[in-house]
A = this chain, B = another copy of it.
Amino acid sequence: MLSDPAAAISVAFDKDGILEEMCNGKGYIDMSTVDAETSIKISEGVTSKGGRFLEAPVSGSKKPAEDGQLIILAAGEKGLYDEAIPIFDVLGKKSFFLGQVGNGAKMKLVVNMIMGSMMNGFSEGLELTEKSGLDPRTLLDVLDLGAMANPMFKMKGPSMLKSNYPPAFPLKHQQKDMRLALALGDENAVSMPVAAAANEAFKKARSMGLGDQDFSAVHETVKGPKHP
């Protein structure tokens, strides 16, 4: 579970790397979150040596990882996936096999794109509540009782109201994922006006110097001056 594409490539291809000892029958599972191209490149390296490859990025951050409650989005060699299930059952609460290499990365982009649109819709609602003279903490309570109740609103809402954004998932990474998801839409001619508007809000937040804060810091972009 490496930090980024460069690290994943390095561990696979560099001196003393994975490929040097790769051979027939061996399997390599990369659980990093990388783009589909990186994943495919590593896969080709592994299989050219006779090995088997599985990408297995995860959904969930620090706490779910500690609790073994990750969601595992695997794709690649089905036989290797089957062998890995006992390990995945320890690390995660659920694993999915999604087909060919690259599909794990794509599924993760879609999930994060929806997350970004939700976060913006939520953030706009909090601000509208406050500027309309209502108590935004009541909005949190109302949302948590209804059809839109979800852990993210519950977890992030209270600190957003305090303009407090400790980075569980940095905004610049969230914006990068939205950009990549929109690029995936571009390839497939899928028009996504709400995700595009959300992406521009994250870019606005970056221009305000909020890239290293939690992605919920996009809340700052909808704020105008405070009521007197």
Contact = CB atoms under 8 A, between A and B. Distances in A.
A98 B134 contact: yes
Contacts of A132: 106, 110, 184, 188
Tallying the copies of this chain within the complex gives 4
A207 interface: yes
Nearest to A115: B148
Interface stretch (A6-14, A78-86, A190-198): A190-198
Interface string A154-196: 0100000000000000000000000101011110111111111
A117 B124 contact: yes
A26 interface: no
B190 A124 contact: yes
A87 interface: no
A192 B123 CA distance: 9
Contacts of A115: 147-148
Interface stretch (A17-25, A27-35, A41-49, A135-143): A135-143
Nearest to A61: B147
Interface residues of A, number: 76
A46 to B, nearest CB: 22
Contact of A117 (B60, B188, B194, B224): B194
A121 B188 contact: no
A188 B131 contact: yes
Given A111-B146, A128-B188, A189-B224, 8 more contacts: A59-B146, A110-B134, A120-B194, A127-B190, A128-B181, A132-B188, A194-B194, A208-B224
